[in-house]
């Protein structure tokens, strides 16, 4: 049983690794990286969010997200604005919106390729199982 769990853990990690490599490679064609595109997605979902909230949403430390956000500001994709107290809010610029949209198109293609071997029913089952492991409630 323990060996099967190790194999399962490795298979999940291997699948994620292949997906991330494909995404990172193809996102370069639209001028971004997977980490940057993920940050743009998080900011788009929560305009005005703090670095702390965005770091949690992108599975990064606050320091790592701050460095990444700084690069996005330098590239003209993100704008930082003063918020309540010492809080700094993050917003997408028009260039950030354009890059995010281009990234969505790339991700749709890559993910379709990654999950092509699975039927629609298998993808639904996999999603439900992964959500259960991650304690996420399914979308209603």
In a domain, 12, yes or no: no
In a domain, 16, yes or no: no
Full domain range(s) for residue 61: 27-133
Residue 33 has phi, psi (to 5 degrees) of -120, 170
Residue 88 has phi, psi (to 5 degrees) of -110, 125
Only one residue has tokens 């595109």, namely 37
Alpha helices by DSSP H, 28-140: 34-45, 51-57, 62-74, 94-114, 120-133
In a domain, 112, yes or no: yes
In a domain, 9, yes or no: no
Q: Which of 32, 52, 27 is nearest to 42 (CA)?
A: 52
Number of compact structural domains in the chain: 1
**Treating both helix axes as pointing N-terminal to C-terminal, what angle do 34-45 and 62-74 enclose, rounded to 10 degrees?**
90
For 67-79, the pLDDT digits (tens) are 999 999 999 999 9
**Treating both helix axes as pointing N-terminal to C-terminal, what angle do 94-114 and 34-45 enclose, rounded to 10 degrees?**
110
Ranges of the chain with pLDDT below 50: 140
Q: At 57, which CATH number?
A: 1.10.10.10
67-105 exposure pattern, b = at least 16 Cβ within 10 A, e = fewer: ebbeebeeeebbeeeeeeeeeebbebeeebeebbebbee
SS3 79: strand
For 6-34, the pLDDT digits (tens) are 999 999 999 999 999 999 999 999 999 99
SS3 60: coil
In a domain, 21, yes or no: no
């Amino acid at each position: 049983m323990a060996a099967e769990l190790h194999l399962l853990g490795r298979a999940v990690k291997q699948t994620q690794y292949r997906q991330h490599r494909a995404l990172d490679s193809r996102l370069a064609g639209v001028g971004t990286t997977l980490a940057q595109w993920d940050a743009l997605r998080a900011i788009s979902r929560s305009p005005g969010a703090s670095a702390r909230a965005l770091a949690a949403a992108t599975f990064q430390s606050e320091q790592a997200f701050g460095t990444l956000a700084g690069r996005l500001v330098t590239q003209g994709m993100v704008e930082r604005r003063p918020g309540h107290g010492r809080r700094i809010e993050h917003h997408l610029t028009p260039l950030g919106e354009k890059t995010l949209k281009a990234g969505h198109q790339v991700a749709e293609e890559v993910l379709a390729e990654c999950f092509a071997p699975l039927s629609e029913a298998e993808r639904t089952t996999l999603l439900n199982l992964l959500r259960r492991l991650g304690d996420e409630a399914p979308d209603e």
